[in-house]
Chain A
């Protein structure tokens, strides 16, 4: 748990951050968001005192750490940044081991921890341990950066626009991975972004800042349905609120058991899926299972995964003009299906206002 009490930062007589107070319970994913220059990044950097506080207090798991020497505090707090900040002269393994080495862990403990983290981020230790940062893709480098931040099992993880510099496809993959890692580790995370979709994908709590002040601090859905003022309402936007809500819903919440074969079409379009020997759905376009000629295009995009947001699933349904998508697990095996009717079903049951966020 981390508590910020009255954080204020004054530069040249002007308050760039003014009296920001918020409490983030253990295991929550807090996102600081706001227009550029709103002080969100400064607020984050005050937590590990890269920016010294002008006034205010920081309580970490009940300890007042405001007066703790900055280096000691920072070793208890993970830190990941946009440029990754990987040390170019150190291998991936040594980069990840940075903080454990500062804390003088034993070599075997460090090695085990590095392997564990690389496995958590799907980086094969045999392949990546001895690589150097310049040999990594942007997404891999960012994974190593986050793994490094988690290495010493910090009490809080700070992330300063970590996915701001990668391409959109990689960013989505990293966001999905971050959700998974957050679920696995139960870490308390403070995350800065200016991207509303990213905030809605990740946050269990959103703090909206404007001109250095905290405007509203709440669950994502509450912020959408009960905005504190016009600024919040405008910032979230009204036109596609429904879609934004769906970006907070996950396929596994809507999934139902699979029908072994399916035949769901819009008029004029025929498609269906069948299973191959490994239990993976193969989607056939322009065909019926009872057709004699088995054939035509196999569409691997016509699927959903349990961790996918309903917004993305809906987008795929609209794009491919299908009413139902098969849901597959990591190995590609069919585990369920999700459809248009399901969306309406839950929302009309009052899911719009009742449900809390999925964490």
Chain B
């Protein structure tokens, strides 16, 4: 007796799973919360309570389109992928629009202290659209240009949502409005700390990687030292640096005037440089070691000087690996700078620790979300840079 043939319902199971997760959260978890002031926790508000009819209908329409894209039958594969990729942009826009519109309505007649915050379903819809987009981009095998184009489009949608008054009544945006000048300061400070750490780390790390490649005897010692730095907890390093740096700042007055002291920027940058060194040195070494010996022998045999071999052959061939190292340390540094706020270096971490102290969750988010956004943008941009740096022959 023949077994009944099992039918495959979904052509794209990832998309199907994400859709189910989105629908389940829309039914079970609140979309927003309404509270009388910023410190107490609020009343949950479900999606169908928060939304007007046309918004629900649009959500349903987008959901239906995504369902059709996920099914095995109706659409050709690539068309379905393009459809799901395209659907993420209105989904993103509608998620923000719905939250803003609800906040405007709910707060119109409430006391000025009342707050509307985003709930679990808001976040899940945001992440689901991001995951659908990532999945579709991978399956479509879009090159760097296509990925960059989608990234710009998504940023544009988010930018439009944030540009007007749409989201201003939402609690986190009111925190932002209170902190507006401070926010820009901390953003600049955060970026300066990251840049201030990466630049010296590159200046030291790239030559060290080259040295590790050239001198086999130095290599093991170098990597063990760098490994030790990598295993130390960041808070411990910040703590350990306080005593020697404040002593140094006092002992050498011109260093003290430059801002070298036990707390603040100096220990933060020193610690970040130490953490960044290992990935940079290791990837520089690995990239150079990966250059084929045949190419090196030919380059020498044809009369290239050591310097010409380095710049024309070794560095171009090692660049993708070196840039992957830079990608790792950039994302890592953006996250570590948050901790540096503990020793007074500033950056988005300042909001997080301030918010934790006040038990003001939206203030914590005002620090956390931009940090995540920065890390994602840096990761995305460097990923594109890595694929651009691949030799055209091997891309």
Chain B: CB-nearest residue to A135: B393
Q: Is B308 an interface residue (CB 8 A)?
A: yes
Q: Is B295 an interface residue (CB 8 A)?
A: yes
Q: Is A86 an interface residue (CB 8 A)?
A: yes
Residues of B within 8 A of A91 (CB): 393
Q: Is A72 an interface residue (CB 8 A)?
A: yes
Chain B: CB-nearest residue to A101: B312
Q: Is A98 an interface residue (CB 8 A)?
A: yes
Q: Which of B302, B393, B394 contacts A75 (CB 8 A)?
A: B302
Knowing A74-B302, A98-B302 touch, does A50 contact B317 (C-beta < 8 A)? no
Q: Establish whether residues A84 and B294, one from each chain, have CB atoms under 8 Å apart when the complex forms.
A: yes
Residues of B within 8 A of A148 (CB): 298, 302
CB of A12, distance to nearest CB on chain B (Å): 18
Residues of B within 8 A of A99 (CB): 302-303
Chain B: CB-nearest residue to A130: B392
Q: Establish whether residues B393 and A89, one from each chain, have CB atoms under 8 Å apart when the complex forms.
A: yes
Interface residues of A in 74-117 (CB under 8 A from B): 74-75, 79, 81-91, 98-99, 102
Q: Establish whether residues A132 and B393, one from each chain, have CB atoms under 8 Å apart when the complex forms.
A: yes
Q: Is A133 an interface residue (CB 8 A)?
A: yes
Q: Establish whether residues B294 and A83, one from each chain, have CB atoms under 8 Å apart when the complex forms.
A: yes
Interface residues of A in 28-70 (CB under 8 A from B): 48, 50, 70
CB of B16, distance to nearest CB on chain A (Å): 38
Residues of A within 8 A of B294 (CB): 81-86
Q: Establish whether residues A71 and B303, one from each chain, have CB atoms under 8 Å apart when the complex forms.
A: yes
Indicate with 1 or 0, residue by residue over B89-103, a CB within 8 angstroms of chain A CB atoms.
000000000000000
Q: Establish whether residues A79 and B393, one from each chain, have CB atoms under 8 Å apart when the complex forms.
A: no
Knowing A84-B294, A89-B316 touch, does A74 contact B301 (C-beta < 8 A)? yes
CA distance A73 to B296 in the complex (A): 17
Indicate with 1 or 0, residue by residue over A205-236, a CB within 8 angstroms of chain B CB atoms.
00000000000000000000000000000000
CA distance A145 to B302 in the complex (A): 11
Chain B: CB-nearest residue to A76: B303
Interface residues of A in 134-183 (CB under 8 A from B): 134-135, 145, 148-149, 158
State the majority secondary structure of interface residues on B. Answer: helix
Q: Establish whether residues B392 and A132, one from each chain, have CB atoms under 8 Å apart when the complex forms.
A: yes
Knowing A75-B303, A99-B303, A134-B393 touch, does A86 contact B297 (C-beta < 8 A)? no
Q: Establish whether residues A85 and B303, one from each chain, have CB atoms under 8 Å apart when the complex forms.
A: no
Indicate with 1 or 0, residue by residue over B268-310, a CB within 8 angstroms of chain A CB atoms.
0000000000000000000000001111111111111100100
Residues of B within 8 A of A135 (CB): 393
Q: Establish whether residues A85 and B391, one from each chain, have CB atoms under 8 Å apart when the complex forms.
A: no
Q: Is B313 an interface residue (CB 8 A)?
A: yes
Q: Which of A73, A89, A102, A133 contacts B304 (CB 8 A)?
A: A102
Q: Which of A72, A73, A88, A132 contacts B295 (CB 8 A)?
A: A88
Knowing A71-B304, A102-B304 touch, does A85 contact B394 (C-beta < 8 A)? no
Residues of A within 8 A of B394 (CB): 88-89, 132, 134
CB of A141, distance to nearest CB on chain B (Å): 11
CA distance A242 to B296 in the complex (A): 43
Residues of A within 8 A of B391 (CB): 88-89, 132
Interface residues of B in 342-395 (CB under 8 A from A): 391-394
CA distance A143 to B70 in the complex (A): 50
Knowing A89-B317, A134-B394 touch, does A81 contact B303 (C-beta < 8 A)? no
CB of B296, distance to nearest CB on chain A (Å): 8
Chain A: CB-nearest residue to B306: A71
CB of A28, distance to nearest CB on chain B (Å): 21
CB of A359, distance to nearest CB on chain B (Å): 26
Chain B: CB-nearest residue to A45: B301
Q: Establish whether residues B295 and A102, one from each chain, have CB atoms under 8 Å apart when the complex forms.
A: no
CA distance A90 to B313 in the complex (A): 9
CB of B387, distance to nearest CB on chain A (Å): 14
Knowing A102-B302, A134-B393 touch, does A88 contact B297 (C-beta < 8 A)? no
Chain B: CB-nearest residue to A85: B298
Residues of B within 8 A of A85 (CB): 292, 294-299, 301
Q: Establish whether residues A88 and B303, one from each chain, have CB atoms under 8 Å apart when the complex forms.
A: no
CA distance A90 to B392 in the complex (A): 8
CA distance A48 to B303 in the complex (A): 9
Knowing A71-B305, A75-B303, A102-B304 touch, does A86 contact B392 (C-beta < 8 A)? no
Q: Establish whether residues A87 and B305, one from each chain, have CB atoms under 8 Å apart when the complex forms.
A: no
Q: Which of A72, A74, A83, A90 contacts B300 (CB 8 A)?
A: A74
Residues of B within 8 A of A90 (CB): 393
Indicate with 1 or 0, residue by residue over A275-296, a CB within 8 angstroms of chain B CB atoms.
0000000000000000000000
CA distance A342 to B395 in the complex (A): 56
Residues of A within 8 A of B295 (CB): 85-88
CA distance A99 to B301 in the complex (A): 10
Residues of B within 8 A of A48 (CB): 301
Q: Establish whether residues B302 and A79, one from each chain, have CB atoms under 8 Å apart when the complex forms.
A: yes
CB of B158, distance to nearest CB on chain A (Å): 37
Q: Establish whether residues A72 and B303, one from each chain, have CB atoms under 8 Å apart when the complex forms.
A: yes
Residues of A within 8 A of B316 (CB): 89
Knowing A90-B393, A91-B393, A133-B393 touch, does A50 contact B297 (C-beta < 8 A)? yes
Residues of B within 8 A of A87 (CB): 295, 298-299, 313, 317
Residues of B within 8 A of A79 (CB): 298, 301-302
CB of B297, distance to nearest CB on chain A (Å): 6
CA distance A42 to B277 in the complex (A): 40
Chain A: CB-nearest residue to B296: A85
Knowing A50-B297, A102-B308, A132-B394 touch, does A83 contact B302 (C-beta < 8 A)? no
Residues of B within 8 A of A70 (CB): 303
Most A CB contacts (10 A, CB to CB) among B294, B296, B303 go to B303
Residues of B within 8 A of A149 (CB): 302
Q: Establish whether residues A102 and B303, one from each chain, have CB atoms under 8 Å apart when the complex forms.
A: yes
Residues of A within 8 A of B317 (CB): 87-89
Chain A: CB-nearest residue to B305: A71
Most A CB contacts (10 A, CB to CB) among B297, B299, B308 go to B297
CB of B325, distance to nearest CB on chain A (Å): 19
CA distance A74 to B301 in the complex (A): 6
Chain B: CB-nearest residue to A79: B301
CA distance A102 to B391 in the complex (A): 21
Which 8 pairs, one residue from A and one from B, show the smallest C-beta to C-beta distance?
A85-B298, A132-B393, A89-B391, A83-B294, A74-B303, A79-B301, A75-B303, A85-B294
A-B contact pairs, 19 of them (CB 8 A): A50-B297, A71-B304, A72-B303, A79-B298, A83-B294, A85-B292, A85-B295, A85-B296, A87-B298, A87-B313, A88-B292, A89-B392, A98-B304, A99-B303, A102-B308, A132-B392, A148-B298, A148-B302, A158-B301
Which chain A residues have a beta carbon within 8 Å of chain B's beta carbons? 48, 50, 70-75, 79, 81-91, 98-99, 102, 132-135, 145, 148-149, 158
What would 7 more interface pairs be, CB under 8 Å, given A71-B303, A75-B303, A88-B295?
A: A74-B300, A87-B317, A88-B292, A89-B392, A90-B393, A102-B303, A135-B393
